[in-house]
Structure formats: C-alpha cells, structure tokens
Amino acid sequence: MKKVLLFFTIALYLMNPARAQDPHFSQFFASPLTLNPAMTGLFSGDFRVSGNYRSQWSSISTPFTTGTAAVDFGILKNVLNYTDIWGVGVMAMYDRTGGGALTSTYLSFSTAYHKGLDPEGNHTLAVGLQATLVQKRLDQTKLIFENQIDNNGYNPAIPNGETFVNPTISYLDPNIGILYNGLVGESSNIYLGASYYHITQPTETFMAQNNNRLTSRYTVHGGGSVPVNGANRIHFSAIFMKQSTASEISFGGAYGFNLNGDDENPTTFYLGSWYRVKDAINPYLGLEIGGFTFGASYDTNVSTLRPASNYRGGIELSLIYIHRRNEGSKYRTLCPRF
C-alpha cells in the first residue's frame, strides 16, 4: 500500500512542472554538457563522445529513465592562441517518468571559449552558452488521480475530472555557465564552475492557464585530483544545485589505480563513492582503457522513502570516449574527470 500511495504522490507531483526538478545524474561529473555549458570542449583530445543512462525507482513502480548522448570538440585550433580553446557540442536527452505519463526530450547546442590565463595554458577561464529545444508530452491515460480511487482501489472507469489543453508543449531554453580550470604544482589540478539554467523561465503548463513558469536552476560545482603512490590518483568532486524549493548537495571521490603505469595512455580502475545529502549513497566503479571510460553506480536510498524503496534507488551507467588522433594535440594539461 505504501508503494501505491507513493506512486500516486509522484504522479500528481508531475502535474505541476513549475515545481518539478530537472533530470539529473548521480554521476554528474560524467555528463559534462548537462552539468555546465562551460565544460564544452574541455578535454585533451580531438573530440569527445559521451552517454549516460539512469533507471530509478524500479522497486516502487515502472522505473523513471533518463538517457543522454553527446559529442563535443574544439574548432579553429590552428587559428586561436595556443593556450585557448573554442569548444562546440550537441547533446540529446530524454526523460521518461510516471510509467510513461510524462516524456521529455531535449536537443541542446552549446559552445564555450576557454581563455588561457598564463603562457603555458595551465590555467583557463571559460564562458559557455547553451540553447536547448525542449518538448514535453503528457499521456493522461497513464496517470492516476485521487478521485479515481474507490473502495476497491483504482477504478479507470471513473473520470479523472481534469482537462489538459496542451498535452504537448515545446519551447527554447537558454543556459549559461562559467568555469575555472587550473594546474596546482606539477601534477595536481582543481576546477570550479557555476551554471545558470532556464534564464528566461519559459512558460511550461499542460493546463489552460499560462502563468506557470519553469523555475531557474543554478549549480555550483568543483573538484580536482592529486597523485598518490606514484601513478595512482585520488579524484574528488562536489556539487550544489537549487531549483525553486528543491536543492541538492552531493560530494565524494574515487581512487584511480593505474594498472599499466602509463601516464599518457593509462589503464585505470576507479573505486569510489558519492553521497547525496539526506537522499542516497552512490558507490561507483569505473574503468578507463584505450580512450574509453566506463562508469557504473547505484543509488542506495537513505531518505524517508526507504520504507517503500527498501533502500533501493537507481542504477546509472556512463560512457565517455575521447579520440586522440594527434599526439601533438594542444591543451595537454590536466582536465576535469570527476
């Protein structure tokens, strides 16, 4: 019964998009173009392909699923100053919630300029812009309302009493971000960024009224890495997000075991964990080999939902491939990984 009531609560919550929270990942560090537009193009290589998949709340009802696919790269490399990077990227994302009651699709185009602050390019400051085409579709046949519950439970023959004037909505959504990335000493790095999403607070409603606006979201994030025991490294990161009354703090890190001792083309096994305050513990396993970095994590729910979730939250997978065709590719300093 607790699971049924929780599903009803989630379904009804979806009906007020102005208060809903944006899709997000526990492995926020492995989804650069949803984290901060200023991350676009910041990597050592020719181009980067990334993908993420998340399935959540399968222990309660039909799982909520989110997925992304993205590519970004640098342009005008032979024209810009050696210490600068101009990155462009495109990302597609889908989000399916409430057993398919609400399906959202996003197509984002982003660009960022990373300006070198020193002659070697070991410190950069970037500004990024992103434009996202958003479409959301509501299938009311998959929603359950309170007035459809009788003494025998859910009765689909009872009208829900709701009228949805706009079952499909679309809008353009601009975002902006800044990012500092720098080398500390000879082999450590640190980064700090901030992003601001839904600058124009576009109208988002399926109902007749048009005064429901999407609340802006701002994010502050940072991290870095330090060498330990020779070729091994400790990576750490943290994030704070706030959107309307919803906020999130997550922090943690991973130990990278360099299995082949090669700093330029390492084979690295990652073991770590992140903690989302008052919500979930996220153990993480990763493997980097031949330009590919694969990550897997699982949300262990520790919030007030745990009686219904049985401590289970969601599984999340990430894959990043960085192509390095030119060994002389510019910008070989340490870049954010976590």
Q: How far apart are CA 161 and CA 170, in angstroms?
A: 25
What pLDDT was estimated at residue 4? 40
CA distance 49 to 331: 18
DSSP-derived secondary structure letter, 42: -
**Residue 16: its pLDDT value, please?**
44
In order of 85, 181, 240, 244, 255, the CA distances from 218 in angstroms are 25, 19, 8, 10, 29
Q: What pLDDT score does 161 carry?
A: 62
Please give the angle made by the CA atoms of 62, 67 and 71, to the nearest 5 degrees: 175
Name which of 92, 95, 90 is nearest 25 in CA terms. Answer: 95
Reduce the DSSP state of residue 13 to 3 states and report it: helix
Tell me what pLDDT residue 318 has: 98
Q: How many CB atoms lie within 10 A of CB 97?
A: 22
Tell me the pTM: 0.86
Which has the closest alpha carbon to 71: 52, 49, 41? Answer: 49
Cα-flanking dihedrals φ and ψ of residue 229, to 5°? 50, 50
Q: What is the mean pLDDT of each run of 10 residues along the chain (338 residues)?
A: 40 44 88 96 94 78 86 93 94 86 94 94 95 90 69 66 76 97 91 97 79 89 93 96 93 96 87 94 96 94 63 84 70 73
pLDDT for position 111: 98
Q: How many CB atoms lie within 10 A of CB 170?
A: 12
- pLDDT for res 317: 97
Q: What is the pLDDT of residue 9?
A: 41
For residue 160, with 0-12 CB atoms within 10 Å meaning exposed, 13-18 middle and 19 or more buried, which class applies?
middle
Contact 80, 41 (CB under 8 A): no
